[in-house]
Structure 1
Amino acid sequence: YDVELTPFLGKLLDGKEHELGFAVTNAQKSWYVDANLHLWLDPKSVATSGGLVAYDAPKLTGKIVSNSSDGIDGQYDATASRNITATGWVRSSRGNITTTFTQRLTFVHTNVVTSQGSSQAINQTTEARTEVVTGDGAHALQLHQSFPLYIFLGGDGSGTSSQRLMRRVAIGFDETRAAGAGGSSSAASTLHNEQTAAAEVVLRDDQVVGASWRMHQVYEYGGSDGGCYSRNVSSVGYDVLFDHNEESCAGTRRR
């Protein structure tokens, strides 16, 4: 996710040390989060100053619904959303610039449990819609990001001397970015990154007697400036089945 800190520069540029922290709400304490800080320096200005004009970040709204007849098997749903808005000004070599940052985050999670808890199918998607606009509306950036995740845990032969354990994982990242001036879009790009993996393990008398796994990844980028890139890789076990690499728009998605 992208978090715009420009409106908060007035608080950060006061000559004191500051610590930026991130956390996942309602998550376990062992859930670690890291981040990269991107800075743009003004080479024509000795010092930069700023101020926060407005900030509104209500607590997230969420709901958890469970539907189970025995307390184990059933469907468990969780949804959450949050809106953040911040406006601030920065005095630089280009003058006094005011920016407004708005972001809406949504989270949808479904967990279907069957076979007395031995099988689970998890589907979840996190979306972030972000917009950064200058005070005069001359420049704007719109960003839509989606993070889908699918996990399957299952198997057969539970309680017997021979068992087969199965795992499936699919994780992705989709992004649409548009930038423009005066209300019109002058530059746009799309990014699609999807990874899928599957593994099976055969146990006999609690000993591993067989295992197989495979992976597949697709990475596609397309820009309105003509820049394009596509890569498609698939493997089974330790062998790479194919690795296709293209730098032409024929291999990228158009949205």
Structure 2
Amino acid sequence: MKACNLILILTLLFTLTIQSSFSLEDNTTENQQQYFELTHPLVTNTDTPPSCSVNLLTHTFANTVDTNTSTDTTFTPSITVYYTPPPTTCKWSHAVLEFQAKCNGTTPMHDRVAGVWIAGVELLRTSTAQPTDNGSFWSVRKDVTKYTSIITTQDNSTSFSVMLETLDKENLTGVYHINVSMHFYDHNAFRFALSSVVGDLEGYKKNRKLSSIDGNGVGDMLGLYPYDTHADMIIPISGDVDEGYWFRIENESDVKKTSVRIDQRTYKAVLEMYISSHGDEEFWYLTPPDSYTKSNNLVSGKGKGAYREVLLTIDGKLVGTVIPTPLIFTSGINPSLWKPAVAIGAFDQPSYDIDLTPYLGLLLGDKDHSIEIQVAEGGSYWLVGANMHIWLSNSNVQAIVEYQPPSMEIENDYEFEGLEGEFEIEVERSSSAVGLVQSSFGIINTKVTEEIKFKNKLTFKEQGTRKELDQKIKRKTKVKITDARGSSIVKYEIERTYPLKITAVTQPWYGKGISTVSTTVVQGRSESFSSGKVILRALNHDVNCTGSMLVNGNCVMSGSTENHQNYYYKDGLGCFSRKVNVMEGDVVGDETSSICVK
């Protein structure tokens, strides 16, 4: 190692008093490093070129902390230009956003969060890779077909914005070079993603009975949930462009509001939400209750326990909630674990869908309605933004909703003595809504039921120097759509499970100020989409990492890490799997396969 590398580390005795305790800045890679997140390819034949491509932005971001420090545009966290749509002569059915980034300099700000918007509609939220002595680079390719109504806009005044910011006010010599492009493919070249439009529609049709209302083929129209076809319009639920469009939520009392008036022809609505935690809230899932910090005279500021939930209300009525999946950025827990394969969602952060179709009776009426977002038990800070996808019929719609507030059960079990203790939180949230919509397609009844289960068990041992987390989030959504006679049109179920286990141990070593830090991270993502007993799409991604470091004060002296990841995706078009093994930052195994495993 050429020199002592500055890190921000704190023994587990005081892990929860300073947020940076689990953020280590370890810039030890000798050569320029390419980082990557495991996913499946969006294009079946990588040799097939797109029908056309459009370069949307090429820009260099430097110090993006304070917009008032300089008039130079390279020192602002956001850049906005006019959006360039695909040429009208380009024939395409699917769009892919490509976000490419390169970092120069060994001390750029770590864990920057970035977002991409068209006319205030968020298409991508991502974060930065770790710096290396010779720089680093990475790219994200995301299917954005569901944003077609925004992508195809021909208004010459439509804005295209990219935000890249951080709160780290030290070591601001790093520079990020960003290039954003859009590629357009025809249907013969594209491979569908789990969150994509249409998906295995042909396979889906073969495994369900479709009903037709007045010969309009409503079953075909509704297709796969929730983005069977792209929306006719998308309304951004967001803040001001100068703040990156996202709402910045500072505490549980901080409620962000906006007014919307939707088209009277709306027969379907889905709210897509982007959520990420930062600052004192980055490791919210590792937070003990206030009683523990106060009893041990630790610096309070986070506390409140390890439960957070994003709440969505319409005119004061709660219509949906999200317990967000923990995101581990590239310097999180132990930064050496994420070289070069990053954690789940680090580069392509997930969005969360709340079906508002049953609630159209609350949203229609040719008047403004208040949309409110807040974070239960939240602190500083959260970045939240949303897109409201709207589908239109040929005439005005009448809607009725049977509204019942979602129910919730929460149980806390805290036991501790001194710095040792066990803290367990269990949350169960259930909701059910039925909405009747009368449109040019006839009468359609939509019933959406959802169950969310959250369990977090946090254990402190050995005088607080050993910390263990066992957490699991499970979300099951059922949708049933019937006609006026009660005959089933479509019926489907989406199940998502996100387990996370973390163990971190800090022990003293020989010599003043020297200690060892050992970490284990086991992260998972399991998602399935089914109709009846037929699983149409399934995704499983498992991450298993271990690492240890010898630390002198705030400097990493030496260390070793392993990162093992297994990714498997299956749909009606086939299968894709990838297995990656990383030792000491070097990829020692990388296998891909298209063989389906039963």
- SS of the residue aligned with 1:75? strand
Partners of 1:134 and 1:74 in 2: CA distance: 48
* 1:106 equivalent among 434, 448, 453: 453
Structure-1 residue corresponding to 2:518:
166
TM-fit CA distance, 1:37: 4.5
Structure-2 residue corresponding to 1:26:
377
CA contact (8 A) 1:48 1:90 kept: no
TM-fit CA distance, 1:12: 3.1
CA contact (8 A) 1:13 1:48 kept: no
Matches within 5 A, 1:1-255: 1-16=352-367, 18=369, 20-35=371-386, 37-39=388-390, 41-42=391-392, 45-68=393-416, 70-135=417-482, 136=486, 137-157=488-508, 161=512, 162-179=514-531, 184-185=532-533, 188-204=536-552, 207-223=555-571, 225-250=572-597, 254=598
Partners of 2:511 and 2:387 in 1: CA distance: 49
- SS of the residue aligned with 2:362? helix
TM-fit CA distance, 1:38: 4.3
* Comparing 121-130 and 4-13, the one that deviates more: 4-13
- SS of the residue aligned with 1:134? strand
Change (3 A) 1:235 1:19: farther
Structure-1 residue corresponding to 2:300:
none
Structure-1 residue corresponding to 2:289:
none
Structure-1 residue corresponding to 2:313:
none
Partners of 2:462 and 2:365 in 1: CA distance: 59
CA contact (8 A) 2:361 2:401 kept: no
- SS of the residue aligned with 1:7? helix
- SS of the residue aligned with 2:418? coil
- SS of the residue aligned with 2:499? strand
Question: Which amino acid letter does the alignment assign opposite residue 191 of structure 1?
Answer: L
TM-fit CA distance, 1:142: 1.1
TM-score of the pair, normalised by structure 1: 0.82
Give aligned-pair identity as a percent: 25
Question: Which amino acid letter does the alignment assign opposite residue 359 of structure 2?
Answer: F
Partners of 2:389 and 2:590 in 1: CA distance: 33
* Comparing 202-211 and 142-151, the one that deviates more: 202-211
TM-fit CA distance, 1:111: 0.8
CA contact (8 A) 1:79 1:106 kept: yes
Change (3 A) 1:167 1:19: farther
TM-fit CA distance, 1:86: 1.0
TM-fit CA distance, 1:189: 2.5
Partners of 2:387 and 2:592 in 1: CA distance: 28
Partners of 2:569 and 2:450 in 1: CA distance: 23
Question: Which amino acid letter does the alignment assign opposite residue 192 of structure 1?
Answer: N
Change (3 A) 1:133 1:202: same
Which is richer in strand? 1
Question: Which amino acid letter does the alignment assign opposite residue 434 of structure 2?
Answer: T
Change (3 A) 1:164 1:99: same
TM-fit CA distance, 1:174: 0.9
CA contact (8 A) 1:9 1:49 kept: no
Partners of 1:18 and 1:29 in 2: CA distance: 27
* Comparing 74-83 and 191-200, the one that deviates more: 191-200
CA contact (8 A) 2:360 2:401 kept: no
- SS of the residue aligned with 1:56? coil
Partners of 2:366 and 2:544 in 1: CA distance: 47
Partners of 2:368 and 2:546 in 1: CA distance: 46
Unaligned runs of 5+ in 2: 1-351
- SS of the residue aligned with 1:60? strand
TM-fit CA distance, 1:80: 0.8
Partners of 1:35 and 1:93 in 2: CA distance: 28
Change (3 A) 1:28 1:109: same
Partners of 1:19 and 1:199 in 2: CA distance: 48
CA RMSD of aligned residues (A): 2.6
Q: For residues 43-76 of structure 1, what are the alpha-carbon distances to aligned partners after superposition, in whole Å with 9 as ceiling and x for unaligned? A: xx334524242122244210111222x2321211
Partners of 2:415 and 2:493 in 1: CA distance: 38
- SS of the residue aligned with 2:376? coil
TM-score of the pair, normalised by structure 2: 0.37
